[in-house]
Chain A
Amino acid sequence: MSWHDFLHMGGYGIYVWSAYGVAAVVLIVNALLPVFRFRALRREIERGVQR
């Protein structure tokens, strides 16, 4: 199977890849949000301790 066939998906490429694309974006955002929130929280708590 070639790359072209893989991306083409028998003519349904646009539907298949949009579905997986949306899923990937949503799942990655959900996994990364706590990482950023932790950083912000940590700064906030450290400031609170110094005061």
Chain B
Amino acid sequence: MWIWLHRLGSPPYFYRFAGRLLPWLWTACLVCLGVGLYWGLVVAPPDYQQGDSYRIMFIHVPSAWLSLFSYVLMASFSAAALIWRVKVAEVLARSIAPLGASFTFIALVSGSLWGKPMWGTWWVWDARLTSELILLFLYLGFIALASAFDDPRRAARAAGLLAVVGVVNVPIIHFSVQWWNTLHQGPTVSKLGSPSIAFSMLLPLLVMVIALHLYLLAALLQKARCELVARERSSRWVNDLLPGRGVGDELA
């Protein structure tokens, strides 16, 4: 396991490994997305209180979970990069930031579009919504810092520190609906033992959660490969990828 992780830290090995994995990940992601969307938008019954508006949940909840999961991953990659100076970890942290920001953005927008018909307002400054907005700013701050230096390694260190410090926001978001009285509803899925959501709605939600996790992984590997080639463009292994070198793995 450690030996394999160590090998994965080598840019050419990571590049090839991710390249092999990508077609499978994209295929699995598209299959799950197709099943999840059809199940959630067509098959699942309307909610007895919220009618069809609750169907926003199938994109809102997975995006919100992934916005937190991406942040934890970004902070972990950053910590690994700060401690062991692994270049691949720097690249992974830099590559996941825009994806995490995208999920946060989708969670905020879809939540707003759900809040308008259900709560009668697009936005309230309650704990869950505000802490999620701060998460978006943390991502944007990370991206800005990571692009603010000419030296990519210094940029990764500065941005990495922000990512690690910003982890405090993650439990705040997660528990905000329990710690404070908020307009946002409490957890319905993760309550241990007995989720208070009907199976006919829970199953398509889980399929969508799997689909978006696969999306995150595939998009992350794809971005990271690209970023890795950009950083190592003058190195030998990247030049060996050019067509006609007979190595087999092309630049794509």
Contact = CB atoms under 8 A, between A and B. Distances in A.
Contacts of A23: 59, 63, 106, 109-110
B251 A48 contact: no
Interface string B192-227: 000000000000000000000001001100110110
Given A9-B52, A11-B51, A44 B233 contact: yes
Interface string B214-252: 010011001101100110011000110010000000011
B226 A30 contact: no
B42 A6 contact: yes
B166 interface: no
Nearest to A5: B52
Main SS of chain A's interface residues? Answer: helix
Interface string A1-43: 1000010011110011011101100110011011101100110
Contacts of A33: 223
Interface in B106-146: 106, 109-110, 113-114, 116-117
B60 A10 contact: no
Contacts of A48: 233-234
Given A23-B63, A38-B251, A16 B52 contact: yes
B46 interface: yes
B117 A34 contact: no
Contacts of A11: 51-52
Given A19-B110, A34-B222, A12 B52 contact: yes
B230 A41 contact: yes
B46 A10 contact: yes
B55 interface: yes
B24 to A, nearest CB: 15
B51 A27 contact: no
Interface stretch (B74-82, B97-105, B171-179): B97-105
A37 B230 contact: yes
A9 B55 contact: yes
A18 B113 CA distance: 8
Interface of A: 1, 6, 9-12, 15-16, 18-20, 22-23, 26-27, 30-31, 33-35, 37-38, 41-42, 44-46, 48-49
